[in-house]
Chain A
Amino acid sequence: SQTIHQWPATLVQPVGSPLSLECTVEGTSNPNLYWYRQAAGRGLQLLFYSVGIGQISSEVPQNLSASRPQDRQFILSSKKLLLSDSGFYLCAWSRPQGGTEAFFGQGTRLTVV
């Protein structure tokens, strides 16, 4: 069976510090990978998606970047965090053929202070 791991679960970082959130998927090959952000009391916004190693598409301009160094690894990064980067970050994967459901990790609660 497939599993998705996302860490850390919670993170408190000062403004201006770097960020690295990691997500790995097991039990599947060549998944589509996604990073979503959920601001407090609001819906989910797609930040990045990837259909293969090294292939990253950004959905919204922002202070964050993403990388996919391996088939089942997806990393969300920032060089300098802003207060507005606070939120709940969710990694997800779906099967490569599209039109199917996505499976989500447990999320990372990021608080920038």
Chain B
Amino acid sequence: GNSVTQMEGPVTLSEEAFLTINCTYTATGYPSLFWYVQYPGEGLQLLLKATKADDKGSNKGFEATYRKETTSFHLEKGSVQVSDSAVYFCALSGSWGKLQFGAGTQVVVTP
């Protein structure tokens, strides 16, 4: 079956540092890949997506590239802000639009 593995947190960074969150997946076929962000007490918001190999999703300074050869979709941001503190989930789409999520990575950015 499908699965998503992402690095465990928490990841603690200083403001303006570079952020990378690793995500790898196993799946049959060619799923779409997503990064979602969850702020405390809230639902999930779509951060970015990629629907085919070599696609790069980007939003709010975050980027991730769909790498079929390494089955990866790592999230990066060049300069984080305190407001980026949240939990980040990597996910892939399965049949009927069902999403398979990773366990989530908490990111804490300090001033």
Interface residues of A (CB under 8 A from B): 6, 32, 34, 42-44, 46, 49, 51, 57, 59, 90, 92, 94-96, 98-107, 109
Contact = CB atoms under 8 A, between A and B. Distances in A.
Given A43-B89, A44-B89, A102 B95 contact: no
B75 to A, nearest CB: 15
Task: Give the interface SS of chain B, mostly helix, strand, loop or mixed.
Answer: mixed
A90 B43 contact: yes
Interface residues of B, number: 23
Contact of B43 (A32, A34, A106): A106
30 contacts: A32-B97, A34-B98, A34-B99, A42-B104, A43-B89, A43-B101, A43-B103, A44-B44, A44-B99, A44-B101, A44-B104, A49-B96, A49-B97, A49-B98, A51-B96, A59-B98, A90-B44, A92-B44, A94-B97, A98-B93, A99-B31, A99-B97, A100-B32, A101-B32, A101-B34, A101-B46, A104-B36, A104-B44, A105-B43, A107-B41
Interface in B56-111: 89, 93, 95-99, 101-104
Contacts of B101: 43-44
Contacts, number: 65
Interface of B: 31-32, 34, 36, 41-46, 49, 51, 89, 93, 95-99, 101-104
A106 B42 contact: yes
B40 to A, nearest CB: 11
Central interface residue in B36, B45, B98, by most chain A CB within 10 Å: B98
